[in-house]
Structure 1
Amino acid sequence: MHVTQRLSDLPLEQGANMNVSRTVVHLTHIGSDVLRLLKEGADANTPISSGGSLLHLCARHDNVFAAELLIERGLNVNLQDEDLWTALHVACVCDHADVAVLLLLAGVNVLLQDVNGNIPLDYASEGTETSYILRKHLEENGNALATVFVHVASRKT
């Protein structure tokens, strides 16, 4: 397949394997294309080469529409890649607040740590919208806030 080939020209009806890592399904994180591929039988849970998912790509590219489609199809919002990053880690580092809100509403675990022991909030730059949203979420869910304070305190020692 040529890189310039249009998605509408892909031979999906001819049996193209949509579940191979880094194939068509992973390169098309645009909402309408994700919807079309899912309707045609693509498995949204097939990991990409980094071990992440289409949801990680949606978080990186701030594609809320496609992320919502994937979540509605049952994609695990807590799926971690090879560095143990969730889509929320990605949304935080990119300051994609709308994706972060969607993930929070879908029940993402805000306390999952990556290989370096960092939670998503650690990647949200101070003063950004994503930082505010995560802090507000933790404040409203007081039981988790104590855990975050312990996490932050342990990192300073």
Structure 2
Amino acid sequence: MKYSYKHPVSQYTRSSSYTPTNYTSSSYTTKSYSTSSYLPSSYSSTKFTPTHYTPTLFSPPAYTPAYRSTSSYAYVYSKPTRQVSNQAKPTQQTPTVTVKPAKAVHFTNDVIFQDYIRHGELELIGRFMRARKVRLNTIFPSGMAALHEAVLSGNLECVKLLVKYGADVHQRDEDDWTPLHMACSDGYPEIAQYLLSLGASAEAENTNGEKPADLIDPDCKELVKLFEVGCV
């Protein structure tokens, strides 16, 4: 009977009852296996000894990387070079300026000689004196003669050199100061003693009526002792 939607399910019955039968498998008997039927006649079964296969552990070869490890890599920084262009730069025309040579300044022999005395240039002083380029009694623009300048420099050797070439120890300047006045006022006892030994006058007065002893500083004990009563 075919299934019909018109009939309820409870009315559906099979046409025949199904009775399953028990399945009984036949006993399986293995046959003896003989290799002789599969091997050629020249092969002897006695020579064949089956061996048990023992698998070995697979050890992969050590991997050596082709690149350098980062620990041994040294980073080298190269400073970029400045690019120099071969292109010619336009040249700027520099205006030419004509510089006139400075006029040479010529000093008179008296000025040069006076400078030599102030710096104690004994050799140059001797050259001037031997060449007779100056006169020792000439009053310089400073108002003093050569011997006065030598005394004020405190150079005893220069004083002796000028005296050697004829300088007068009694020479007066514009204010009637003698070289001995200069030595006493500026505190040079050695020069004063040398001038006195040559006959310099201790009684000479300048325009203010002052004698050399009147210009001595009381703290200069050597000059005070030199001009004590009875010593000069």
Q: Write the distance in 2 (CA, Å) between the matches of 1:65 and 1:83.
A: 25
Q: How many residues align?
A: 124
> What is the percent sequence identity of the aligned residues?
24
Aligned to 1:86: 178
* Conserved 8 A contact 1:35-1:66: no
Superposition deviation, residue 123 in structure 1: 0.5
Alpha-carbon distance in structure 2 between the residues aligned to 1:54 and 1:35:
13
Once the two structures are TM-superposed, the CA of residue 82 in structure 1 deviates from its matched residue by 1.0
| Higher radius of gyration, 1 or 2 | 2
Contact persistence 2:175–2:206 (CA under 8 A): yes
Matched residues in 1 for 2:189 and 2:149: separation? 15
1:48 aligns with 2:136: no
Q: Letter of the aligned partner of 1:48 in structure 2?
A: F
Q: CA deviation at 1:50?
A: 4.1
Are 1:73 and 2:165 counterparts?
Answer: yes
Deviation of 1:17 (Å): 5.1
Q: Spell out, residue by residue over 1:78-101, the C-alpha distance to the aligned partner (whole angstroms, 9 max, x if none).
A: 111111111111111110111111
Match of 2:8 in 1: none
Matched-pair contact (CA < 8 Å) for 1:95–1:124:
yes
Letter in 2 for 1:131: V
CA deviation vs aligned residue, 1:39-92 (integer Å, no higher than 9, x gap) = 221322222124421111111111111111111222111111111111111111
SS of aligned partner of 1:28:
helix
CA distance, structure 1, for counterparts of residue 116 and residue 146 of structure 2: 9
Tell me which residue corresponds to 2:115: 27
Provide structure 1 residue ranges, at least 5 long, that are not aligned to the other structure: 3-10, 142-157
TM-score, normalising length from structure 1? 0.70
TM-score under structure 2 normalisation?
0.49
Query: Counterpart of 1:139 in 2: which secondary structure?
Result: coil
**Larger RCO: 1 or 2 (CA < 8 Å, sep 6+):** 1
Say whether the 8 Å CA contact 1:113–1:119 is kept in structure 2: yes
Alpha-carbon distance between aligned partners in 1 of 2:137 and 2:188, rounded to the nearest angstrom: 22
Q: Is residue 224 of structure 2 the alignment partner of residue 131 of structure 1?
A: yes
Distance (Å, rounded) in 1 between the aligned partners of 2:216 and 2:191: 13
User: Tell me, which stretches of 5 or more residues in structure 2 are unaligned?
Assistant: 1-103
CA shift digits 1:122-146 (9 cap, x unpaired): 01112412222232xx5145xxxxx
What is the aligned partner in structure 1 of residue 192 from structure 2? 100
Check conservation: 1:71, 1:106, Cα contact below 8 A: no
